[in-house]
């Protein structure tokens, strides 16, 4: 059964719009990841449902109808309580979620234009326009909010480790690898036994499991290597077959590959037990990249380690606190100040170095 058939069964509204099914099938044929297809189907299904409620033909919809969709997204009760759109609102989806919902609608109208069914796309996209005043960037339909990613402080991290220390070896090594190698959730859960190179303490992250289809090889630490050796011995008692590295040990799915959702539930349980509710499966990635920046790694090296195509993406992940920045500023200013004082203290320094000014001009009495 194809992914498109499964998604159409999940959101029946898609079946009432033949172009929507054709569009989704085209993305599946192009090899989009199942999770991407799921996000596309969900966003478009919500938009088409709105069109049906408003008695609007999607082929004839304009920007005003898309604006109604945006208004609904920004006023929808948030499943986790007050959040995001404005401090006072107490409602609405998070800004990145709204952007995610609009992407498939925009791509759907791009498809309709390519098929000759429309002349324009009612969903605007922010883009650089040479010659425009100011920043030269046209504003998208919904402004993007750039928020610093959250990472735990030292106390919160220690509290989490204290809880994790009592976990089975599989969960401990997964948490260690997620931090050591800055792995995304899907990259971690998709690791296979032949992706490991214990002799060099490296792990291969296959292109098909990554977000941007970039394969990379990343190292892990010696303590993680010890945990991994212990887990491999434990795994052999579950299955000796090569294949997925992390296996389920539940009664229902014993020996099956560990799912993304199971790992999310494990991390959520640890976070609640440690009293660090904001900790998620992606937090270890943020924390690792930030720690690399604190250690003085070059931006391009961090981008390569993270598997980013562009350093702009890396900058979004690196979270340097105000204290980190203050220490960097102090270190740099101390060097500059000492250089300037040395210039003033050196009586033999030529006036050309001082800009050619006389002492009485530079320091009037």
Question: CA 51 to CA 16: how far, in whole Å?
Answer: 12
Say if CB 192 and CB 242 are below 8 A apart.
yes
Residue matched to tokens 């099938």: 25
Residue 206 confidence (pLDDT): 94
Q: What is the DSSP string of 59-101?
A: GG--HHHHHHHHHHHHHSPPTTSS-TT-TTT--S--HHHHHHH
Residue 99 confidence (pLDDT): 83
Return all residues near 308 (Cβ < 8 A) that are at least 6 apart. Answer: 212, 314, 317
Residue 106 confidence (pLDDT): 92
Residue 363 confidence (pLDDT): 35
Predicted TM-score of the model (pTM): 0.66
C-alpha of 125 from chain center: 20
Residue matched to tokens 């904001």: 278
Return all residues near 61 (Cβ < 8 A) that are at least 6 apart. Answer: 51, 122
Say if CB 58 and CB 49 are below 8 A apart.
no
Domains (range + CATH), the chain: 3-127 (no CATH), 154-317 (1.10.443.10), 322-362 (no CATH)
Q: Which two tokens stand for residue 5?
A: 């058939």
Task: Supply the angle between the helices 18-29 and 34-53 in degrees, to the nearest 10.
Answer: 170
| Integer angstrom CA distances of residue 327 from 56, 128, 155, 254, 314 | 57, 35, 20, 50, 21
- Give, for all 365 residues of the chain, the pLDDT tens digit: 788 888 889 999 999 998 999 999 999 998 887 888 999 999 999 999 999 999 999 999 998 888 889 888 887 765 554 443 333 344 567 777 888 889 999 999 999 999 999 999 998 765 443 444 444 444 555 655 556 678 899 999 999 999 999 999 999 999 999 999 999 999 999 999 999 999 999 999 999 888 888 899 999 999 999 999 999 999 999 999 999 999 999 988 899 999 999 999 999 999 999 999 999 999 999 999 988 888 888 888 999 999 998 887 788 777 665 555 556 556 655 666 555 555 555 545 455 444 444 444 433 33
3-class secondary-structure state, position 344: helix
Say if CB 10 and CB 30 are below 8 A apart.
no
Residue 87 confidence (pLDDT): 35
Return all residues near 255 (Cβ < 8 A) that are at least 6 apart. Answer: 238, 239, 247, 248
């Amino acid at each position: 059964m194809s992914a498109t058939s499964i998604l159409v069964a999940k959101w029946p509204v898609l079946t009432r719009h033949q172009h929507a099914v054709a569009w989704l099938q085209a993305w599946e044929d192009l090899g989009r990841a199942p999770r991407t297809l799921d996000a596309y189907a969900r966003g478009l299904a919500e938009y088409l449902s709105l069109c049906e409620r408003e008695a609007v033909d999607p082929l004839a919809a304009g920007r005003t109808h898309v604006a109604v969709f945006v208004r609904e997204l920004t006023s929808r009760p948030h499943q986790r309580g007050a959040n995001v759109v404005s401090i006072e609102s107490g409602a609405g989806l998070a800004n990145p979620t709204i952007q995610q919902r609009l992407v498939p609608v925009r791509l759907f109208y791009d498809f309709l234009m390519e098929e000759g069914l429309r002349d324009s796309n009612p969903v605007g996209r922010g883009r650089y326009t040479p010659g425009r005043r100011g920043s030269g960037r046209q504003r998208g339909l919904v402004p993007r909010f750039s928020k610093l990613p959250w990472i735990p402080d030292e106390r919160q991290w220690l509290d989490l480790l204290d809880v994790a220390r009592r976990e089975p070896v599989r969960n401990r090594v997964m948490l260690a690898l997620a931090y050591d190698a800055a792995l995304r959730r899907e990259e971690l859960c998709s690791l296979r036994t032949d992706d490991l190179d214990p002799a060099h303490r490296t792990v291969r992250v296959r292109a098909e499991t990554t977000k941007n289809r970039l394969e990379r090889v990343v190292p892990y630490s010696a303590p993680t290597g010890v945990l991994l050796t212990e887990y491999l011995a434990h795994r052999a008692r579950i299955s000796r077959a090569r294949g997925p590295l992390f296996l389920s040990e539940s009664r229902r799915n014993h020996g099956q590959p560990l799912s993304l959702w199971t790992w999310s539930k494990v991390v959520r349980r640890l976070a609640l037990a440690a009293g660090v509710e904001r900790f998620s499966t992606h937090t270890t990635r943020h924390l690792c990249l930030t720690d690399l920046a604190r250690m003085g790694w070059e931006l391009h090296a961090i981008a390569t380690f993270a598997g980013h195509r562009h350093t702009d993406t890396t900058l979004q992940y690196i979270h340097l606190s105000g204290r980190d920045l203050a220490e960097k500023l102090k270190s740099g200013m101390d060097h500059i100040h000492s250089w300037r004082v040395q210039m003033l203290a050196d009586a033999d320094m030529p006036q050309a170095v001082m800009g050619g000014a006389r002492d009485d001009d530079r320091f009037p009495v």
